[in-house]
Chains A and B, each alone.
Chain A
Amino acid sequence: MDRSRITDRLFLLAGVLLAPVFLPPYAELLGEPVRTAVGGPAKLFFLLLAAAFAARSARRFSPRSPARTAWLLLAVGLLLYSCGQLTLVVYQLVLAVSSPFPSLADAFFIPAACVLIAALICLLQVYRRSGLPFDAKRDFGWVGAGSLLVLGTVVAFVLRPVVASSTGGLGLLLNLAYPISDLALLVPSLILLRVSWRLRGGSVAKVWLALVVGFVAIAAGDVAFAYFSEMGVGGLDSVIDLLFLAGYMSIARGALAQDEIAG
């Protein structure tokens, strides 16, 4: 069995072992302390794994390659995410308090999203400069405009009640900043998905697809968190946690897959 299949099976095993902690009926049986004790470190582990392999992948490209810049930016963005997650773990497991919102963690998550947007734009540049055939209008233009329109509508729909029900302050600002930065992250992600479709059946598509799935899961988690926390709807924390964990796992798998194909 080759390295890629072994890694796939390990990730699948990790998913099967971790999912019950977040999903009913086991989530209720195990309770929040178990979810916090398992979920926080698991998320941190996969983020650090993703950052480490993104950095390793960057080193495999020549210094002036746009691909090196893209993977380096991914590594920095994921490292910033790791710092944010580490902050949450310290709140929850060391200080034994519920992580406040807003908190110091947000000072890492928001810049991380900006760096990751830049990384995805760089990855699209990599494809454009590869000399492989592509239709700029259809692959980049139409997909970009279409996803901006659809996602913009969804985000506006979600944010309207958030703004209406909020008392303002930094919490509101962050609850707006997360979905908006996710929207900005999802547009290049969906263009990347379109490009991945053209590369289907190859190992590069597997890398890019894993990254896209990861970013979509994180965005879904952020939008759900913003909506439900401002609307005062509880009981969905475990599902939101699972979305984040799935997102980080998928990005880590993508970074490992890039290392496998370049190695």
Chain B
Amino acid sequence: MLRSEVQPLIEEGLAPILGPTMARAAVEAHSSRLAIAGSEIDEAGLGELLTRLELGLKVFVGPDKSRSVMREIRSRIDGRRTAGNGS
């Protein structure tokens, strides 16, 4: 998937908790650490990125809430992917 499609969805999901600035910084920092900062992001890289973000979120809001936030983000990404395949 194109990063330009996925990253805004992840940031939108994290921003209510971490704020928009930190949401963007967190996605970029983890992408850079995982060496997936290019313009495209594959399925494995995306999964690893979401796992790292969930671990970070967990220390602020606990496991239940962080799981539910990441589930919501995944579902938005899947929705975008399905819409992309359909068009």
Contact = CB atoms under 8 A, between A and B. Distances in A.
A21 B52 CA distance: 50
Interface residues of A, number: 24
Contact of B55 (A67, A131, A200, A263): A131
A204 B17 contact: yes
Interface residues of B, number: 26
Given A131-B30, A131-B56, A132-B56, A202 B62 contact: no
Interface in A25-70: 60-62, 65-67
Given A131-B52, A204-B17, A263-B65, A199 B22 contact: yes
Contacts of B1: none
A198 B57 CA distance: 15
B64 A65 contact: no
B52 A203 contact: no
Contacts of B56: 130-132
A198 B23 CA distance: 10
Nearest to A71: B62
A65 B19 contact: no
Interface string B15-59: 111111111011011100000000000000000000010011111
Given A132-B56, A133-B26, A205 B19 contact: yes
Nearest to A196: B19
Contact of A67 (B20, B23, B28, B60): B60
Contacts of B25: 132-133, 198
A62 B17 CA distance: 19
A172 interface: no
A67 B57 CA distance: 11
Contact of A204 (B18, B30, B63): B18
A60 B62 contact: yes
A125 to B, nearest CB: 9
Interface of B: 15-23, 25-26, 28-30, 52, 55-65
